[in-house]
A = this chain, B = another copy of it.
């Protein structure tokens, strides 16, 4: 075999440049993507190492266990995704109701353009890990709580401006999140994002159709023959 020769001839010892922060972020990127695509248990550290181009020693130096890595993904990435996708847009909207509507439509549009549905990162991990470990559960529940509070606070702000007087902030927030989470679950199973628009339309009350076109929207099956 010439393998040894090739191995022996792998050239001059490469110049290594330490970049702890960059390497840590790269690992978090890969882990986040792997959890989103395959879930926690189906994500192997070895595969993530290969994808990230990181050695076992390096990974273990930054994350002592798979649990520690997962906790970091939850607290630094999943929480950030909820913040970017939901909390910030709602806070910046003209009203809570309008903010919720905008997020639903933005996500639906993104999924339709993307062509497949990977689901909500928070819900994906919450289903798999809430019962697996108390630390996981607490971290995930905390994100749900912050999400809900942000929406409820927006409703309260609306109320101080004289609107939404008949709305219970906590209940409104709970339903908005539940409808979104559940719709994403259905959309993931069906690989069809149209249920998001169905839920949004019903949430807003079909009594006031925002657009004159009441023609039934055709379902768009999003999953292409080849796996994404």
**Among the listed B144, B188, B191, B201, which residue makes an inter-chain contact with A186, where contact means beta carbons less than 8 Å apart?**
B144
Q: Is A167 an interface residue (CB 8 A)?
A: yes
Chain copies in complex: 2
Give the docked Cα–Cα distance between A86 and B41 (Å).
30
Give the docked Cα–Cα distance between A182 and B122 (Å).
11
Give the docked Cα–Cα distance between A140 and B183 (Å).
14
Q: Is A127 an interface residue (CB 8 A)?
A: yes
Give the docked Cα–Cα distance between A191 and B133 (Å).
13
Interface string of A120-142 (1 = CB under 8 A from B): 00011011101110000100110
Question: Which of these binds chain B: A45-53, A64-72, A91-99, A173-181?
Answer: A173-181
Contact B175 A186 (CB under 8 A): no
CB distance from A36 to the nearest CB of B (A): 9
Q: Is A203 an interface residue (CB 8 A)?
A: yes
Given contacts A168-B206, A199-B175, A199-B178, contact A128 B183 (CB under 8 A): no
Give the docked Cα–Cα distance between A84 and B202 (Å).
26
Q: Which of A149-177 contact B (CB under 8 A)?
A: 166-168, 170-172, 174-175, 177
Contact A130 B189 (CB under 8 A): yes
**Among the listed B127, B166, B202, which residue makes an inter-chain contact with A185, where contact means beta carbons less than 8 Å apart?**
B127
Range for the number of chain A residues in contact with chain B: 35 or more
Q: Is A58 an interface residue (CB 8 A)?
A: no
Q: What 15 additional pairs, Cβ within 8 angstroms, besides A170-B216, A174-B195? A: A118-B131, A123-B127, A130-B191, A141-B191, A145-B190, A166-B207, A171-B198, A174-B186, A174-B198, A177-B186, A178-B178, A178-B186, A178-B195, A179-B182, A181-B182
A-B contact pairs, 24 of them (CB 8 A): A39-B127, A39-B131, A42-B132, A123-B185, A124-B127, A126-B188, A131-B188, A137-B189, A168-B201, A168-B206, A170-B216, A172-B202, A174-B183, A174-B199, A174-B202, A178-B180, A178-B182, A178-B183, A178-B186, A178-B199, A179-B179, A181-B181, A181-B185, A181-B186
